[in-house]
Amino acid sequence: MDIYFYNTLTHSKEKFKPIDENEIKIYSCGPTVYKDATIGNMRTNIFQDNLRRTLEYNGYKVKQAMNITDVGHLVSDGDEGEDKMIKSAKQEGKTPLEIADHYTKLFFRDLERLNIEMPEIICKATDNINDMLKVVEELVKKGFAYETSTAIYFDISKLDKYPVLSNLDVEKQKAGARVNVDTEKRNPQDFAVWIKAPENHLMKWDSPWGPSYPGWHIECSVMSQKYLGEVFDIHTGGIDLIPTHHENEIAQSKGMCGKIPAHYWMHGEFLLIDGGKMSKSLGNVYLIQDIVNRGYDPLVYKLFNYSTLYRKKLNFTWDGMDSAKISLDRLRDAYQKHINGTYDIDDSELEKYEKQFLEAINDDLNMPVAMSVVWEVAKKPEKSKKIAKLLRKFDRVLGIKIDKSKTDEIPEEIKELLELRKKAREDKNWDESDRIREEIKEKGYIVKDSKNGQTIEKA
Ligand code: AMP
Ligand code: ZN
């Protein structure tokens, strides 16, 4: 079945045509590891997970590369301010390396908690400095970049078109250029590909221009080319990356090889909190850890994301999380009821649902419609093993562990008591069995006996 994606490059939904049918190559802009990733950042990662899982569901092999920005991302997202890594290191009294290690670990822990598939390639900016330096030298040699007293800038006037993704009006921006714009820049839109390090700067490397470090945008251009080739299938990121980071990546790649690096550019919209921006001053910056601390399974948050298209704003509220929790519990319960069901549902009916589900995900990852199909299947009054199997298949895209039963969350201590009770029943020691049942009850769980053995749920 055909797949359609909204392509920011053409501002339209397009039929997806892979470069190589055998492997789809995706580059996803990863985190700048100077602080905790928020649930907003994780929304973008959930969208990227849906994308790769959808391609895999369609039978494609995926090669996804994600960078870890551990140098060069300045506070302004442009060419101004301190390096975010260094600022954070100073604030926390650590080295930039310690900061990067710490937040990278936490980032991957969150991906795991959200059951997000790991990209095949994880590349750190600081591991690829030499490759970046070579490209910058090349850009200077070709006349696409020039030196000033502070940096090496990319000259956007050397391109046939800039910008290509966004609707930035360069002429208007030129006229109203910001007062603090670097006067040595040839064009206000020129951006730094390489930055000269001030004295005592913590992260710097030798270069023809003295001790210096890479700009944020060059990292992604160089690493995507190195790991996926000059042109790959899909480039992803959050919507905020369009006007600066991705625009500049395209500019650099055109300077490097004359090509736009990806055929499809896909961007996830922002998560709002209580209808507004997430911000420290409002005290509403939430992490996956906050979700865990409030007693939710992190996958409740993943399911919560499926209520809206990835290209639409999503408003986070704790009430919304409560509804998503009820939904996840109901879905998992419904699945458990189908596992041993004996109803022989007609294959053609299942095929109909499977087709509807595939149509939804292939229509630019339409998760709300896909979920409505999942619910229709799960809610079938006739209990059937075949339905359970289909739900497991859908979960290859959803990644919400639909087959996780309530017993999965049972503490070790209760599991041990269950084992002892099982042994007592095998020995026909009914008094002991009843005693253990009571002990389990006092600890907040209810044991039931069925022909398949003991089942347990929270009281
Ligand atoms: P940051 O750590 O703020 O640079 O964010 C890393 C990436 O996460 C950004 O480039 C965005 O693409 C994405 N992101 C940040 N905030 C949000 C949000 N509220 N909703 C969705 N994505 C976000
Ligand atoms: Zn990037």
CATH number of the CATH domain containing 297: 1.20.120.640
Amino acid at residue number 78: G
Query: Which pLDDT does position 168 carry in this prediction?
Result: 63
Question: 123 - beta bridge partners?
Answer: 67
403 located within any domain = no
Residues 28 and 122 occupy one common structural domain = yes
Residues 84 and 219 occupy one common structural domain = yes
Is 180's pLDDT higher than 60? no
Residues 183 and 121 occupy one common structural domain = yes
| Segments forming the whole domain that contains residue 333 | 272-398
Amino acid at residue number 119: P
82 located within any domain = yes
Name the pTM for this structure: 0.87
Residues 378 and 425 occupy one common structural domain = no
Coil, helix or strand for 240? helix
Residues 230 and 120 occupy one common structural domain = yes
Hey, how many other C-beta atoms are within 10 angstroms of the C-beta on 212? 23
Note the ligand closest to the C-alpha atom of 73: 1
Instruction: Tokens 């049972």: give the residue.
Output: 410
- Does residue 30 have its Cβ closer than 6 Å to ligand 1? no
Tell me the backbone φ, ψ of residue 15, rounded to 5 degrees.
Answer: -70, 135
Tell me if 437 sits within 8 A of 421, measured CB to CB: yes
Residue owning the nearest CA to atom 15 of ligand 1: 41
42 located within any domain = yes
Query: Which pLDDT does position 179 carry in this prediction?
Result: 47
422 in the Ramachandran plot: left (φ > 0), alpha (ψ -120 to 50) or beta? alpha
How many structural domains are present in the chain? Answer: 3
Summarised one tens digit per residue, pLDDT across range 56-102 is: 999 999 999 999 988 767 766 676 677 787 787 778 887 778 878 88
Residues 347 and 418 occupy one common structural domain = no
Is 53's pLDDT higher than 80? yes
Residues 291 and 175 occupy one common structural domain = no
Which of 251, 268, 285 lies at the terminal end of a domain, its last residue?
268
Is 332's pLDDT higher than 60? yes
Coil, helix or strand for 344? coil
- Average the pLDDT over 354-382 and give the result: 98
Q: What is the DSSP letter of 86?
A: H
Which of 227, 253, 268 lies at the terminal end of a domain, its last residue?
268
Residues 217 and 340 occupy one common structural domain = no
Q: How far is the CA of 262 from the centre of ligand 2 (A)?
A: 13
Question: 15 - beta bridge partners?
Answer: 4
Query: Which pLDDT does position 456 carry in this prediction?
Result: 80
Residues 96 and 209 occupy one common structural domain = yes
405 located within any domain = no
**272 CA: nearest ligand 1 atom:** 19
Provide the residues around ligand 2 (an ion) whose CB is within 5 A: 29, 220
Taken in order 423, 428, 431, 437, the sign of the CA dihedral is: positive
Residues 320 and 370 occupy one common structural domain = yes
Q: How far is the CA of 240 from the centre of ligand 1 (A)?
A: 7
Hey, how many other C-beta atoms are within 10 angstroms of the C-beta on 406? 15
**271 CA: nearest ligand 1 atom:** 20
404 located within any domain = no
Summarised one tens digit per residue, pLDDT across range 9-52 is: 999 999 999 999 999 999 999 998 888 899 999 999 999 999 99
Residues 417 and 327 occupy one common structural domain = no
Question: Please, is 213 exposed, middle or buried when counting C-beta atoms within 10 Å of its C-beta (0-12, 13-18, 19+)?
Answer: buried
Rounded Cα–Cα distance for residues 48 and 56 (Å):
12
User: 413 CB contacts (<8 Å, ≥6 apart)?
Assistant: 443
Give the residue from 148, 87, 100, 151 showing the smallest Cα distance to 127: 100
Query: Which pLDDT does position 169 carry in this prediction?
Result: 59
Residues 78 and 126 occupy one common structural domain = yes
Q: How far is the CA of 315 from the centre of ligand 2 (A)?
A: 25
Whichever domain contains 107, its CATH number is: 3.40.50.620
Strands 262-268 and 271-273: unpaired
Which of 268, 290, 319 lies at the terminal end of a domain, its last residue?
268
Query: Which pLDDT does position 173 carry in this prediction?
Result: 56
244 located within any domain = yes
406 located within any domain = no
407 located within any domain = no
Is 416's pLDDT higher than 50? yes
